[in-house]
Amino acid sequence: MRRINSIFIVLLIAVFFLTAAKMNNGSRIYSRADCKIQLSAKSINKNVELKMTITNISNDVIKIPIFLFPNDEDEFFGDWFEIIDTNDEVIEYEGKQADIDYEPEKVKCLILKPGKSHTVCLTCLKKYYKLQDGKVYTIQYLGPLGESNIVE
C-alpha cells in the first residue's frame, strides 16, 4: 500500500511540473546546443552584408532573448565575431563589452519551434571592427548563441 501511495505522489508531482511547463507555452530558455548558426556574406558597395540564420535544432520550443541577436539598429553587447584578415591578423572589436544579467521571464524573447529559423542581416560590422575597403576577411560567429560556419 505504501508503494502505491509513493507512486501516486510521484505521479502527482510529475503532472504538476508538466502542467507548469505547458503554462509557459511549453517553451524553455535556449542553450547553445539548441542552435545551429549559419553565416553567409557578400560585399555590397564597399560594405559587408552578413546574413546570420539561427535554427532551432532541438526537439523543444525555445526562447531566445532578443538582445542576444546582433542587429543593425541596436548596439552590439560584445565581441561576437572572429574576423581575420589574409595575414592571419585578428581584427579587434571596438564596441561595448557588457555582461548582461537578466531575468528570462522579463525580457522580450524570440520563440523558435523545433526546426524553425530566424535570419538577421547585418551591414554594420564596420562600426565595431576596423574593416578596410578592398581587403578580404574570414568571419565566424562565436557569440552566446553558439558557433557558426566560417565565411569569406
* pLDDT tens, position by position, 30-62: 999 999 999 999 888 777 889 999 999 999 999
pLDDT-based confidence at residue 13 (cuts at 50, 70, 90): low
pLDDT-based confidence at residue 71 (cuts at 50, 70, 90): confident
120: part of which helix (H) or strand (E)?
strand 117-122
Segment among 48-57, 68-77, 123-132, 133-142 with least mean pLDDT? 68-77
* Percent of the chain predicted with pLDDT > 70: 77
Choice between 127 and 118, residue whose per-residue pLDDT is larger: 118
- What does the DSSP 8-state code read for residue 67? G
Residue 3 has pLDDT above 70, yes or no: no
Residue entry with cell 548596439: 75
Closest CA to 128 of 100, 97, 152: 97
36: CB partners within 8 A, 6+ apart: 54, 55, 57, 146
Query: How far apart are the C-alpha atoms of 43 and 46, rounded to whole Å?
Result: 6
Give the per-residue pLDDT at 47. Answer: 79
For 5, 63, 74, 132, the CA distances from 15, given in Å and listed in that order, are: 15, 23, 42, 58
Q: Distance from CA of residue 124 to its chain's centroid? A: 18
pTM, to two decimals: 0.76
